[in-house]
Structure 1
Amino acid sequence: MTDRAEISIVRWPGRTPSADDGPAALLAAYHLRTEGEKGQAVADVDELPDRYRTEVLDPRTAFADDVVLLALSGETAVGCLVLTKPADGSSEIKRLWTDPGYRGHGIASGLLGAALAQAAESGAGEVRLSVWKWRTGAVALYERLGFTVTDSWDERDQLVCMRREIGSRGPL
């Protein structure tokens, strides 16, 4: 196994010049993998549905009202997470993704901890998220961090909706 640089979590865009490229490559990998898992494999970003292609091609605009967190290994973005600004006391976590070559090193947990802290700081009383049923590792991680399955707010088949009160276990 090769040594890896320490992982840092930063807000994007920010003052970290190494993160200028931002989450685009990570978002592309996330969306391409997700479409394939849904049985709608696409070869490249140009074939993604418009909504997802826009996120990849212009994340600064797509997430202008949200908090985007990046996990950096040295100068390389290896993980990302989007946290929506609170609405009705709730923020939502979206697009949690870790580069497959960096999994198993606590990156997703670090991003989630930073997101929960950010949500608490912004006044959210709860954080919610949705995850595909077949992503059992992600579901297990969310449950370990205090998220519980809740009634669905999204009618897509095989989507599991989860929530966690911010005060229930502290940010992390």
Structure 2
Amino acid sequence: MIHQREIAVVRWPGQVPPVQGGLADLLAAYHVQTQAEKGEAVAGVEGLPDRYRTEIADPQSVFADDVVLLALSGDTAVGCLVVTASVDGRSEIKRLWTEPAFRGQGIAFSLISTALVHAEESGVSAVRLSVWKWRADAIALYERLGFTVTESWDERDQLVCMERSV
């Protein structure tokens, strides 16, 4: 079965996602999976740290200064990515997630490519991201898109920091 996909750029404040609840559902799946991968599995959103529950409950406020990208298959949100507002000429990519049933279709590549175009249009000099070292497929994708490992700006163990000039 072939799924049609479209990347919809949602900018806050001012716009609401074209799919109600879609972003919150994607963020919940992302955080629950990440906790499990870190060896801190939780039964659901209720078991997540407060900062993640807040993000899921009110992404419009949490990401008010950022650009949120949603990948849509018809009316269904199947992927997301957040590009933070520029700080010192750099933006950061966060919360890249593709629903497992939709992986392998180029959605993550499209989300990152769209984020890079946005960053270039915004005049930032670089885009950075952090990724858990066990996410080898994601690291390989980032490297294909020109990201390189850089000195860590985050003290969490097993986190790989990467950056790309725009």
TM category (shorter chain) comes to over 0.9
Q: Partner amino acid for 2:6?
A: S
- Aligned twin of 1:3: 2
Inter-partner Cα distance in structure 1 for 2:58 and 2:25: 11
Inter-partner Cα distance in structure 2 for 1:78 and 1:22: 8
**How far 1:21 sits from its partner (Å)?**
2.3
Inter-partner Cα distance in structure 1 for 2:67 and 2:54: 17
**How far 1:20 sits from its partner (Å)?**
2.7
- Aligned twin of 2:56: 56
Q: How does 1:30-109 map to 2 (within 5 A)?
A: 30-109=30-109
**How far 1:109 sits from its partner (Å)?**
0.4
Q: Partner amino acid for 1:87?
A: V
Runs of 4+ in 1 over 3 A off after TM superposition: 13-17
Inter-partner Cα distance in structure 2 for 1:118 and 1:98: 20
Q: Partner amino acid for 2:55?
A: E
- Aligned twin of 1:170: none
Structure 1 residues 16 and 94: alpha-carbon distance in aligned structure 2, compared to 1, 3 A threshold: closer
Q: What TM-score does the superposition give when structure 2 sets the normalisation length?
A: 0.95
**How far 1:15 sits from its partner (Å)?**
7.0
Inter-partner Cα distance in structure 2 for 1:107 and 1:120: 20
Q: What TM-score does the superposition give when structure 1 sets the normalisation length?
A: 0.91
> What is the percent sequence identity of the aligned residues?
64
| SS of corresponding position for 1:23 | helix
**Structure 2, gaps ≥5 residues long:** none
Inter-partner Cα distance in structure 1 for 2:145 and 2:17: 28
